[in-house]
Structure 1
Amino acid sequence: MTYRVDCHVKVLDETVVERAKRAGLDAIVYAPHFTRLPEIRERAASYSDEDLLVIPAREVFTGSWRKRRHVLALGLEEPVPDFIPLEAAMAEFERQDAAVLVPHPTFANVSFADSDIRTHADAIDAVEIFNPKHLPPHNRRARRLAETLSIPPFTSSYAHLPRTVGIAHTAFETAIEQEADLVDALREGVARRVVYSNGLGRWTTTATELAHLAYENTWEKIDRLFLSGTEPTHPQHIAYDGRFDDVAVY
């Protein structure tokens, strides 16, 4: 029996849960941007039930706006902030024995480059080889990287919009009944299949998600940079008690 997991979604509400169940998913990984781990955990727990497990995670926004790298961590016990160097984030993940995933590799300027994956290959537990936001060349390049470096694959809907949830999933050949099960499956390289469709629905999803990405990188970015106060996940936020002040890039 396989357990079907959408390994990365950004949104979570009743509509998301309903769509995930209709898609036959057993679990989704919830990792919104700029949200602290305790809040993510609380929200994930509130939407989990016997039919769908919602697993909390953090997609940490490392580096600066000009040279940023997103990295997905599961199984964290202590919060890790954004806006710290990639090397500092990876060291913290290792300290906490978290599962480390590379989402949307080599995509735009928000992702691990080929050189980053090679440098940190021993610490990476899975590389995303299909992302609905990607065009086919991006996905083929990601697949080649994972195969060349012998890093297990994964996929996700990377849903920023509820309608995208479930369009792609990873089918693990082991039971995923709690957060620790998925962390172990990823860290141990459990056999899995990457499942997705390349039909009309996939291309509609790509178009709508790319349009949303354009919004995120224009007005929303300006709001975060210039109009908002200190982000809850900023390393100098009081919640981190000064532990990351010496590595903060801002």
Structure 2
Amino acid sequence: MSDRRTRVDPHVKILDERVVERARESGIETLVYAPHFVRLPEIRARAERFSTDAVTVVPAREVFTGDWGNRRHLLAIGLDEPVPDFITFEAALAEFDRQGAAVLVPHPGFMNVSLIRAEVGAYRDRIDAVETHNAKLFDRHNRRGVRTAEAFDIPGFGSSYAHLRGTVGSAWTEFEGDVTDEESLVTAFRERTPRSVVNRRDPATRLRRLAEFAHLGYENSWGKLDRLFLSGMEATHPRHIAYDGRFDDVAVY
């Protein structure tokens, strides 16, 4: 039996040479890149561009289901075809199922942007993992994730959820076996491969968490205003020409 283990950061929002180097220095071999409001072909191209012999970057989508006032985020790894934001929750799940993607619940119960405990329970058979440590969040938030995962016997995962370069390497999921490409990562999540969640708790990491929270404040003030009123239609809007009308009947806008 192999003693091989693989460190994976299943969710980052930023990607460049410095991000990949920080991952390598932390022993992370697989990095999941899932930026907001970017279509899958662009994500995939950027992931391929920055992958190295030491760090594989896997493309993914954190899909905003529902409308701005009642959105539920789902992280899908292993998509072959683009899935837009702002479609119904059920439509997003159906599309993930059709494509055989791994379905993860990021930051459960946080604000109004993720599944609450009852929703996780209702959809437990269609969820592959629940985030139990997010380096951007505080301990009380992460304890809620742990309780939710344990209540429904769903495996957990930990990520840096890095929106800022310095947060990469703050947390990761360590899988048993070789999980160093997209296919093996999807399999690891869908087949519930044994894993452990690791997070750093040093003072520098705690300071980075505060910086990330400050960045979250920007995202939910000026950043949201810009997206809602100034930037026009998002590239991931379901009625964008790129989707050729496929999602018009399940669009919430």
Give deviations 1:172-200, integer Å, cap 9, x for gaps. Answer: 00101311000000000000010002221
2-side partners of 1:177 and 1:169: how far apart? Answer: 14
1:92 partner SS: helix
2-side partners of 1:174 and 1:73: how far apart? Answer: 21
Contact 1:174 1:185 (C-alpha < 8 Å) held by counterparts: no
2:239 corresponds to which of 229, 236, 241: 236
2:69 partner SS: coil
In the alignment, what sits opposite 2:31? 28
2-side partners of 1:17 and 1:202: how far apart? Answer: 18
Give deviations 1:49-91, integer Å, cap 9, x for gaps. Answer: 1111000000001111111111100001111000011111011
Amino acid at match of 2:223: E
Structure 1, unmatched stretches of 5+, are none
Amino acid at match of 1:76: L
Query: Which TM-score applies when normalising by structure 1?
Result: 0.98
2:223 partner SS: helix
In the alignment, what sits opposite 2:113? 110
1:90 partner SS: helix
Contact 1:37 1:58 (C-alpha < 8 Å) held by counterparts: yes
Are residue 9 (structure 1) and residue 12 (structure 2) matched?
yes
Amino acid at match of 1:22: E
1-side partners of 2:183 and 2:212: how far apart? Answer: 30
CA offset at residue 202 of structure 1? Answer: 2.6
CA offset at residue 231 of structure 1? Answer: 0.6
Contact 2:30 2:181 (C-alpha < 8 Å) held by counterparts: no
Give deviations 1:201-231, integer Å, cap 9, x for gaps. Answer: 2311210000000000000100100001211
1:54 partner SS: strand
Identity among equivalent pairs (%): 59
Structure 2, unmatched stretches of 5+, are none
1:201 corresponds to which of 200, 204, 220: 204
CA offset at residue 119 of structure 1? Answer: 1.4
In the alignment, what sits opposite 2:151? 148
- 4+ residue stretches of structure 1 with deviation over 2 A? none
1-side partners of 2:139 and 2:180: how far apart? Answer: 33
1-side partners of 2:33 and 2:238: how far apart? Answer: 21
Amino acid at match of 2:60: A
2-side partners of 1:94 and 1:100: how far apart? Answer: 9
Are residue 225 (structure 1) and residue 228 (structure 2) matched?
yes
Point out the more displaced range, 130-139 or 43-52.
130-139
1:191 corresponds to which of 191, 194, 207: 194
Contact 1:130 1:155 (C-alpha < 8 Å) held by counterparts: yes
Amino acid at match of 2:159: S
In the alignment, what sits opposite 2:48? 45
RMSD: 0.8
1-side partners of 2:148 and 2:113: how far apart? Answer: 17
Give deviations 1:24-44, integer Å, cap 9, x for gaps. Answer: 111100000000000000000
